[in-house]
Structure 1
Amino acid sequence: MTDINQILTSLKRKNSEEIQTYEEGFLLAPASPQALEQLTTLSEKYLKQPLSPEYVECLQLSDGFSLNGLNIYGTTEKLDPYFLPGIVQVNLAFWQEDFHRQYIYYGDESQYRLAFDIKNKKYVCLDQNKHKALQFFDSFGQLLNAVIIEARILNPLPFFG
């Protein structure tokens, strides 16, 4: 099983490297306890599902982020320093089409969507264009790790297990 802490450590390392190289990193400020509490309320009200505890751990490091084409949605929409959707808002927009109501979307990458399949109770990597399930996972951490490896988001890669 993938340890979300290994992934978060790899993200912090990459952020430090980018700060040294470009004087700016990709991690945002951590989500505040109030923002996380409000997100829990909105998730229960609109998505009718609790959010992954591992996703919440990511938000405690950075309230969403965008790295090399991988976007993990934040508690709310961000416009600065780059555009990043809020998780509830993006899901409500997707849910305008019935097909998307089977999923809670946590993020995207140029080839993939990172989601939770409500019907199958599994995390899933979906093909971005065909919306076809490519692989199922037991946790958000496993899903995130697989996408990081497959799309070569980090170098060196965080975990191969």
Structure 2
Amino acid sequence: MSGKPVGRQVAVVTKFQTEAVKPGGVDRRTAGRAAEQAVADMQVQVQQRVLDSLDPLVALLRQWQKEAPAAAVRGACDWAATTRDLAGLAEMHLLTEVAMHSYDCLDAVAVDGASMDANEAACFADALVFARQDACRGSDLMPYQPLLKDLETLTTLVIGRGAQAG
């Protein structure tokens, strides 16, 4: 192989650099505060979207029928995925975990033909409402391990029914 360089170096000038060299441009401290405010505003919007996505999911789970229409199951599955993803962005760790178990269970019902009764669906609805309170504001889920273990057991039970049905 020859000693010639394989690529070339390109100078990139960011908007911050351009604004910083202008007279009256933005200093680093002001830019940092503006960025922090923008992130805080976005965090509030994401949290509101989480709460908005949670209401339809809880309503569907509370009105669950053993032989739910396929459209209702797919809708619940979509709401659970949305809640799981948005809660992860908002760093609502307990809600993320509960929504993940809800999604796994609903996915087994939608895809594998597993069955879930109204009492089981109500357990997921209750867990989602509990997690919505946002008592867990960190990544320490240890106090909630019994709840998460029970949800995992319930999810495994429903998924197992899907394997038997298939």
> Taking structure 2 as the reference length, what is the TM-score of the superposition?
0.30
Structure (1 or 2) with the greater helix fraction: 2
Higher-Rg structure is: 2
> Taking structure 1 as the reference length, what is the TM-score of the superposition?
0.30
Q: Which has the higher contact order (CA 8 A, sep 6+)?
A: 2
Structure (1 or 2) with the greater strand fraction: 1
